[in-house]
Amino acid sequence: MLFSVTGGNDLDQRLRGLAKTDFSKASGVVLDGFFLDCIDESNQPMDRRPHLDCMFEVLPKLCLQLPSHLPRILTNIWQPDEVARAVTCGVDIFDGTLPFRLSRSGLAWLYPGWMPHSAATTTSRQTPFPSWIAFPLDKELLKGSSGSVFNQPLQEGCSCFTCQRHNRGYISHLHSVNEMLAHILLMIHNSTRCYRFFSDLRAAVKNDQMEDFLEFCKGHHFPEQIVRVDLTANSMQCDDS
């Protein structure tokens, strides 16, 4: 049974609710109800960073008061850098929406992987910039490139089915004709990179290198305006209503 500790962004309210909760039958604690997303008078999304800062101020103090044997589950946090930051606050489990969010927006995550290194190492694994590809690709890339960009896999060295069997040009074509296979192939790739991210995260925790991993993750924050796009609604292969 999962128990929820309520109180919004107010630490005092959260602690008061926690003090009155009997966790003897609990299998885990859900940390939900944080106020993160809002819209302005013109119905446009507002900057969520002030609310995020508030949440990250509340989280570590709240987690310190929770029973240490219960896993802590945080909802509505999926950006890689925010996930890593939440782990340092004491959170254990997150929702798995990142691959879906990226795939529906036509984005392929270029996550190179992070390798634990000793204190004597001066440089971390370089992050490609940007850390994603947006589909369909710009046809202007063909000019002067001899099509090399289109013939590449999504990510060199990736072992997923998509990268082993298909190239960027094919996936771009699928997006151009609103074929739902485009999102399926992206989902396979993005899920594989997501698994690698969490594997690296666990390694960073185990090796006490979260500070380095947090710095590495700063290059893997997806702009809100591109992740809000839902290209799956354009597919004529299924009822998206």
Residue type, 47: D
- Do the bridges between strand 2-4 and strand 107-109 make them parallel or antiparallel, or are there none, so unpaired? unpaired
Token couple for 18? 């926690």
**If pLDDT is split at 50, 70 and 90, which confidence band does 123 have?**
very low
Give residues with Cβ within 8 angstroms of 124, minimum separation 6. Answer: 114, 117, 212, 215, 216
Q: Provide the β-strand partners of residue 39.
A: 45
Question: Whose CA is closest to 175, among 238, 103, 101, 239?
Answer: 103
In the chain, where do the E strands start and end? 2-4, 28-31, 72-74, 93-94, 107-109, 132-134
Return the domain boundaries, the chain.
2-76, 101-208
Helix (H, G, I), strand (E, B) or coil at 41: coil
For 184-204, write each residue's pLDDT tens digit.
999 999 999 999 999 999 999
Query: What pLDDT score does 11 carry?
Result: 93
Mean pLDDT, residues 39-46: 61
